[in-house]
A and B are shown apart, each in its own frame.
Chain A
Amino acid sequence: GAGVSQSPRYKVAKRGQDVALRCDPISGHVSLFWYQQALGQGPEFLTYFQNEAQLDKSGLPSDRFFAERPEGSVSTLKIQRTQQEDSAVYLCASSLGQGGPETQYFGPGTRLLVL
């Protein structure tokens, strides 16, 4: 079946511009995660949804970052007033969400460059 998809794959934004990144999880996956990966680093957790409920947003770096998943499927990560330090790859992952240890499956990522 189809994996996790993300769009756009690349985004160039001018500093101060707002951006919206989309994630389409694997069908039937209840859990959805957003991670940020800087060059040469491992992914860092941003936020987590169980269905439409945002259960953990402890990793969001500032109030400029906002995520939603209104119908429990597609999710959008929005970054307002982008800064150069926001340049990174934004990865979305999904998992079944049945409880216990689970494998997270990653999408291809959105590479954001803020000029």
Chain B
Amino acid sequence: QKEVEQNSGPLSVPEGAIASLNCTYSDRGSQSFFWYRQYSGKSPELIMSIYSNGDKEDGRFTAQLNKASQYVSLLIRDSQPSDSATYLCAVNPSGTGRRALTFGSGTRLQVQP
């Protein structure tokens, strides 16, 4: 079992719809969770970070964390074609001194105009 699991997609949504991206992780002691967006041929760019259970909203983006279920999600409201990219879920695993991120394989999102 991979440490961070994502559905590879592609997830296809029409313009203006809500896109829902999901991620599960195996390390129950994980404390920090991140969503990165990666356009083809580009480097990952941070979209959201979340550290405590519940929802965190930033513009059209909402991150949701449920540590009991080991689940983190990203909602994108009013999806735009420019949101078409691969979305990477990243987790900072537990352990003293561990600062490296563990990434999922990413979910490819396609927003249809």
Contact = CB atoms under 8 A, between A and B. Distances in A.
Contacts of B45: 106
Given A40-B105, A101-B49, A101-B51, A106 B99 contact: no
Contacts, number: 57
Interface string A23-53: 0000000010101000011111100100000
Interface string B84-113: 000010101000011111111110000000
A105 interface: yes
How many of chain B's residues touch chain A, expressed as a range? 20 to 34
A45 B43 contact: no
Contact of B92 (A40, A101, A106, A108): A101
A31 B99 contact: yes
Given A48-B99, A56-B98, A41 B105 contact: yes
Interface residues of A, number: 24
A103 B34 contact: yes
Contact of A101 (B31, B88, B104, B105): B31
B100 A33 contact: yes
B44 interface: yes
Contact of A56 (B4, B31, B51, B100): B100
B97 A42 contact: no
A108 B105 CA distance: 18
Nearest to A108: B43
B32 A101 contact: yes
B74 to A, nearest CB: 15
A88 to B, nearest CB: 13
A61 B106 CA distance: 22
A109 B38 CA distance: 12
Interface hub of B4, B46, B49, B100 (most chain A Cβ within 10 A): B100
B60 interface: no
A34 to B, nearest CB: 10
Interface of A: 31, 33, 35, 40-45, 48, 55-56, 59, 91, 95, 101-109
